[in-house]
Chains A and B, each alone.
Chain A
Amino acid sequence: MLKNTLIALVIAVLAYMFYNVYNTYETRTSLSGVAEYYATNAAKEVGAANIVTSIVVTYRGFDTLGEVTILFLTASIISFFLKLKEEDENKSIKHGITSELLITASQVLVPIIFLFGIYVFINGHLTPGGGFQGGAIIATGVALMIMANPNIRINNHVIHWVESISGVAFVIVGLFGIVLAGGFLDNRISGLGEFGTLFSAGAIPIIYSFIGLKVGAEISNILNKYQKSQKEL
C-alpha cells in the first residue's frame, strides 16, 4: 500500500513538473546560432542535400565514430555473455510448424528488404535515411529469415569479416581526410560533385555505406546469438 502511494506520488510530481514546462513552452520561430550556420553553409561546405547527414557524418563525425564503437561494444558484450559452444551452434531446435505464409513471404521479401536497406544507406546524403537506418532494415531481413526457419545457419565468419573490414575502412577513409583535405573525417577527399546527385558530397556515401554494412552485420550477429543461445525447457 505504502509502495503504491509512493509510486503515485512520484508520477504525480513528475506530471506536475511536465505540465508546468508544457504550459510555459513556446514553439520557436527562428533557428539558433549553430543551426543557422549549418543551414547557411552545409550545402556549400559539405555538398550533402540532407543537412542532418552532413552534421552526423562530417561536422560531428567523431561522435558517429563513437556511436559505431558503442554498437561494436554491445555486440562484443553480448557475444561474451551468450557464449556459444560447438554443440549450441549445431543443435537443431524443436519448433512447431512454421506457417506456410511466413516461409513463402520470407523467400520473396528478404532480397527486397536487403535491396531497400542498401538503397537507404547509399542515398543517406540525399533522402531521410543513412547508415544506421539502412543497417537496421537489413537486420529486419535477417530477423524474418530466422523466424521463417528457426534452425537456419548464419555464417559467422562472413558476418565477422564484413563487420571488421567496414569498421577499419571507416577509419581509413577518415585518415584520408587528414592527408587530402582539412582533417580527420573531412569529406572533401575528392571533388564534391554536382549537388543533389548520387555521386556527390565527397566521402559521405562511402562512409555511410561502411556504417550501414557494419550496423547490419552487428545487429544480425546479435539476433543470431539470441536465437542460438536459447535453451529448451
Chain B
Amino acid sequence: MEQLDLGHISLAIGFLLILIGFWGLLTQKNIIKIIVAFTILDTGINILIVSLGYIVGKTAPIVDNSVEQLENHNVVNSIVDPVPQALVLTAIVIGFGVTALMLAYAMKLFNAKKTLEINKFNDLKW
C-alpha cells in the first residue's frame, strides 16, 4: 500500500463526515439532531475544500520566517494553495448564518407545539 499523505487523509475524513451528516439528516427525528447532522455535513464539505488545496510538503500561506527558512527560499515553491482557504472562510460564515436561522425556527416550532419530534408536525400532511 502506498504512503498516505495529508491530502488523502483529510479527503477521507471529509467524505466520512459528509456521509455521517447525510445519514443523520435522513434518519433522525428530533429537530435539534437534524441541525447537528447539518453542521457535521457542513464541516465535512469545508474539510474537503481545504484538502483540495493541499500540496505535498508545503507550509501555510503566511510569509514569515518559517517560509523564508525553507531551502528553495521562494514563496511560490513553499506554500499551499491559499484560494480554497479564503473560499472556505465564506462557506463557514454562511454555514453559521444558516445554523443560527435553523435554531431560531426550532425555537419557534417548539413554542408552537411543545415538542421537537418532526413526526408531530403533520399539519400539511393529508
Chain A interface residues toward B at CB < 8 A:
7, 10-11, 14-15, 18, 21-22, 25, 27-32, 34-36, 38-40, 42-43, 49-52, 55-56, 60, 63, 67, 70-71, 73-74, 77-78, 81-82, 126-128, 130, 132, 196, 222, 225-226, 229-231, 233
Contact = CB atoms under 8 A, between A and B. Distances in A.
B19 A74 contact: no
B22 A11 contact: yes
B76 A27 contact: no
Interface of B: 5-8, 11-12, 15, 18-19, 22-23, 26-27, 53-56, 60-64, 75-76, 79, 81-83, 85-86, 89-90, 92-94, 96-97, 100-101, 103-105, 107-108, 111, 114
Contacts of B83: 32, 34-35, 38, 55
Contact of A27 (B8, B23, B108): B8
Contact of A30 (B15, B55, B94): B55
Contacts of A25: 7-8, 11
Contact of A11 (B19, B56, B82): B19
B27 A7 contact: yes
A67 B22 contact: no
Of the candidates A35, A82, A130, A132, the one having the most CB atoms from chain B within 10 angstroms of its own CB is A35
Given A27-B56, A29-B56, A70 B62 contact: no
Contacts of B94: 67, 70
B97 A51 contact: no
Given A31-B76, A71-B96, 8 more contacts: A15-B15, A18-B18, A27-B6, A55-B86, A56-B86, A77-B104, A81-B105, A130-B89
Contacts, number: 134
A22 B5 CA distance: 12
B22 A50 contact: no
Given A22-B8, A70-B97, A28 B81 contact: yes
| Top-5 shortest CB links A-B | A27-B7, A74-B97, A51-B61, A18-B15, A55-B86
A14 to B, nearest CB: 6
B86 A27 contact: no
A221 B18 CA distance: 31
A225 B104 CA distance: 9
B63 A51 contact: yes
A49 B79 CA distance: 12
B62 A15 contact: no
Nearest to B81: A35
24 contacts: A11-B23, A15-B19, A22-B11, A22-B15, A25-B8, A27-B56, A30-B55, A31-B55, A39-B76, A39-B79, A39-B82, A49-B62, A51-B62, A51-B63, A52-B89, A77-B101, A81-B104, A82-B107, A82-B108, A126-B62, A196-B64, A225-B104, A226-B107, A229-B107
